[in-house]
Chains A and B, each alone.
Chain A
Amino acid sequence: MLTWLTPDLQHILFTVFQGVVILVVTVLFAAYLSLIERKLLAWWQDRHGPNRVGPFGMFQIVADMLKMFFKEDWTPPFADSFVFRLAPFIAMSTILLSMAIIPITATWGVIDLNVGLLFFFGMAGLAVYSVMFAAWSSNNKYALLGGLRAAAQTLSYEVFMGIALMGVVMQAGSFNLREIVEAQSGLWNIVPQFFGFCTFLIAGIAVTHRHPFDQPEAEQELADGYHIEYSGMKWGMFFVAEYIGIVVVSALLVTLFFGGWKPLPYLDFIPGIFWFLGKTAFFVMLFVLVRGSLMRPRYDHVMKFSWLVCLPLTLINLLVTAAVLLLAGA
């Protein structure tokens, strides 16, 4: 009986199962994040937030989704319709794929790529195409300006985002995220790689186009910029992609700098999954708090900050890390 269930097949099935669970949980959490964000902002802003649908407004997201599903799926006649439809798919899929490389606990995780971190950079690089495609195909001037900003911003921030993490990679001696977590068993990377953390956090916010780096959409200036012509589910995919982006970047921050599923000392009776989720939730909330409290700098100041502050900082961090490792090795 069940002889066909060879260990190999078991392994495949378990991996598929893990993948599906992580996918579903990520997407659901990201969708729910819109409600969490609204609630958190409301509390910080001295108001109630959604509280009509279900207890504490918990089902607001269901109502929103129903509304979005039933909206007319409209493509403007002046748009390039193939590219216009492609853009939200790119936004959603690239960012979801990045989630695959993140080790959730010691045993959970979709895939252990030996180039895990590079895979994330690749996906983040591809994600900008969604914004540029959306902006270009919309055939709208506001969208175009948003697309230009997105291209310039991504170019500026991806340069030092990569360098910011090289210190972490050097310390672990691997691009594999699971090995990076294991390398933090003694001391979390936040201590030796503090500057790497600061710069990666900034770059992470920029990559997800979150306030104050929401230059491509900048409601007050470009009236939602690149997705100005989108509505219904296509707009919804951009929207959910943004929240998935928050989850992914938060999870990455935890994995790279805060020891992933590793517990704090003396608290190792709490299972790793809770550590991972708790730490990730902390950064998700940080994203919301940043949005609620900061103003938006001018777009050229953002570029200047990237090239004149962040890039030199990451380079110095890289050199110092390399020197320290070299000396320690010698």
Chain B
Amino acid sequence: MQTTVGNATQEADLPEVIKDLFAKFGEQSFVVQQTKDQVPTLWVERAQLIDVLEFLRGMPRPYSMLYDLSAMDERLRTHRWGLPAADFTVFYHLLSIERNADVRLKVALSQDSLSVPTAVNLFPNANWYEREVWDLFGIAFDGHPLLVRIMLPRTWTGHPLRKDYPARATEFDPFMLDAAKQDAEQEALRFRPEEWGMQPGTADEDFMFLNLGPNHPSAHGAFRIVLQLDGEQILDCVPDIGYHHRGAEKMGERQSWHSYIPYTDRIDYLGGVMNNLPYVLAVEKLAGIQVPARVQTIRVMMAEFFRITSHLLFLGTYIQDVGGMTPIFFMFTDRMKAYDVIEAITGGRMHPAWFRIGGVAHDLPNGWDKRVREFVEWMPKRLDEYVKAAIKNSILKSRTIGVAQYNARDAIEWGVTGPGLRATGIDFDLRKARPYSGYENFDFDIPVSQNGDAYDRCLLRIEEMRQSLRIIKQCLDHMPAGPYKADHPLTVPPPKEKTLQHIETLITHFLSVSWGPVMPAGEASQMIEATKGINSYYLVSDNATMSYRTRIRTPSFAHLQQIPSVIRGSMIPDLIAYLASIDFVMADVDR
């Protein structure tokens, strides 16, 4: 249950970070909230926020990564159990790699004073998160360098993630695009260098401002990056996102817990069921479901399959972006083989939407092991060949070694996770650091390298594929027997065997498949090591059939924000190699 812990309760049980904060700022400054994900969560006064953030960032073994920052409209929330009065909440999720621990800070805001001091001076990556909160909630950040919309066009009116903003198209007037409106929209997209603090030129020369995207062969989706060029040298750049924004978080507030699963598939559209995993794990925390070992193992196996297909596409496009046209065709052959296995097991290919709350959709089909084994035996030889034919090529090396290099400190400062972080020498993979879904039972290694350049990021992903194959092999050899869904009333769809004998089960089953399950009120989040970095869902239930707030933290968003700081001073071809090495998909950035 969610409760507000008063000032002087259970001193001994409190996490270390809360004790440190109490010692520094006094207990009266905070309200501690219990959440179902065990992340220490504290409510802070707005006036003290920056001091607290600064303290956390500066303490020994610091919380140096701003992992997530977003907000919530609290106005319609009924189950609040005496949390501080708030119309809106802004929350800050900090992560400490040294401690392998998190802390979440919340700031309560009332409707007539919707502003918070900016955290950009402490955490440079707060910039985009604060713009997103401004865009979607209309909460201002005092002192922010340029608080403009980021997801939606600047011409937009309203703030969509507010509860009074309609979610359905039928609640709006029909959309019309006439010539005048089109001109206005296009004018709003015009890039103004002065706005971003850029000089249009010096006394001797003018700079060229080049629009790379939103339609460009190497932008990997609808992504625009405006370059300030001196010849081919990039002096500065401004990434522009939002062209792929679908309002996935808003959709979460009107889909039942169960029917939201297919939407998660399309967040990182190369991740398939890997996207379902953090969502169903978070919902299971809310519901209090423990899944059987067979479910855990099936989930791990399928997630690792998608890690391989995603990394294969990365590898192909990476080589293609530095000019090698052939390898990607071979990698698509491999991906087809993987998808054939995935299809045989799940019935879907790219977006199977196959995980369920409390289980998976079906049991493994007969003969699954034969097909999985074929793939596991096929793949390693191919990977060796790719390394020999492409990765060791001296042109590829000259294009990527030392290109777009950043160190561990920069990576943490910008919220980089996944291979982009591990390439800087930091051994932080959630599958080892905070095992979920039974990863602690597997024997595998986390590849780490030191250079932090575009080449290392690629090498790591190739090694990760080999490790994923190891994990799949272990799933194959040690698949536990047992049921493929949990025996729990909130499992969707719930077990039906007893429905005809047991009236209570029948009612639960009926409600669960007609309304959808009602998750107990509370808050839970789950991070996983997804294909591109750390992906997490932070879910708030108000004891309803739908989520009250669905926050999706995606790795690609953070990685794109980092681009200008890495690429300044490099050339256009380096930018292309860098973009390829990030391995992002725009759906994962914009949600």
* A interface residues with partner B (beta carbon < 8 Å): 41, 44-47, 141-142, 145, 148, 211-212, 218-223, 291-301
Contacts and interface: CB of A to CB of B under 8 A. Distances in A.
Residue of A142, A297, A300 ringed by the most chain B CB atoms within 10 A: A297
Interface of B: 208, 210-211, 216-218, 231-232, 319-326, 329-330, 333, 390, 393, 395-396, 398-399, 571-574, 576
Nearest to A299: B573
B395 A296 contact: yes
A219 B317 CA distance: 13
A142 B322 CA distance: 18
A296 B330 contact: no
Given A219-B217, A220-B218, A220-B321, A299 B329 contact: no
Given A44-B326, A212-B323, A300-B571, 15 more contacts: A41-B326, A45-B326, A46-B333, A47-B329, A218-B323, A219-B217, A220-B320, A220-B322, A221-B572, A222-B572, A294-B323, A297-B399, A298-B399, A299-B232, A299-B573
A295 B571 contact: no
B398 A220 contact: no
A298 B319 contact: no
A222 B571 CA distance: 12
Residue of A219, A221, A301 ringed by the most chain B CB atoms within 10 A: A221
Contact of B395 (A44, A212, A219, A222): A212
Contacts of B324: 293-296
A220 B576 contact: yes
Contacts of B333: 46
Contact of B574 (A46, A291, A298): A298
A208 B330 CA distance: 28
Given A211-B323, A295-B319, A145 B232 contact: yes
Given A221-B218, A221-B573, A221-B576, A297 B329 contact: no
A52 B329 CA distance: 20
B330 A223 contact: no
A44 B231 CA distance: 37
19 contacts: A41-B326, A46-B329, A46-B330, A145-B232, A212-B323, A212-B395, A220-B321, A293-B324, A294-B393, A295-B393, A296-B399, A296-B573, A297-B323, A297-B395, A297-B399, A298-B573, A299-B232, A299-B571, A299-B573
B24 to A, nearest CB: 51
Contacts of A293: 324, 326
A141 B208 contact: yes
List of 10 A-B pairs having minimum Cβ-Cβ separation, nearest first: A296-B323, A45-B329, A295-B395, A295-B324, A295-B323, A220-B218, A298-B573, A295-B396, A295-B322, A297-B395
Contacts of A292: 325-326
Given A145-B572, A295-B319, A223 B399 contact: no
A83 B474 CA distance: 66
A240 B571 CA distance: 31
B321 A297 contact: no
Given A44-B326, A220-B576, A292-B325, A298 B217 contact: no
A141 B571 contact: no
Contacts of A141: 208, 210-211
Contacts of A294: 323-324, 393, 395
Contacts of A296: 322-324, 395, 399, 573
A212 B330 CA distance: 20
Contacts of B217: 219-220, 223
A298 B574 CA distance: 8
A214 to B, nearest CB: 8
Contacts of A148: 231-232
Contacts of B322: 220, 295-296
Contacts of A300: 571
A221 B321 CA distance: 8
Given A44-B326, A45-B329, A292-B326, A298 B571 contact: yes
Contacts of A45: 325-326, 329-330
Nearest to B322: A295
Nearest to A301: B398
Contacts of B574: 298
A326 B208 CA distance: 54
Contacts of B571: 298-300
Nearest to A297: B395
A100 to B, nearest CB: 33
Nearest to A292: B326
A141 B319 CA distance: 26
Contacts of A47: 329
Nearest to B208: A141
Nearest to A212: B323
B44 to A, nearest CB: 47
B325 A291 contact: yes
Nearest to B320: A220
A38 to B, nearest CB: 12
Contacts of B572: 145, 221-222
Nearest to B213: A223
A299 B576 CA distance: 13
A44 B326 CA distance: 8
Nearest to B396: A295
A221 B333 CA distance: 26
Contacts of A291: 325
Contacts of A46: 329-330, 333
A145 B216 CA distance: 15
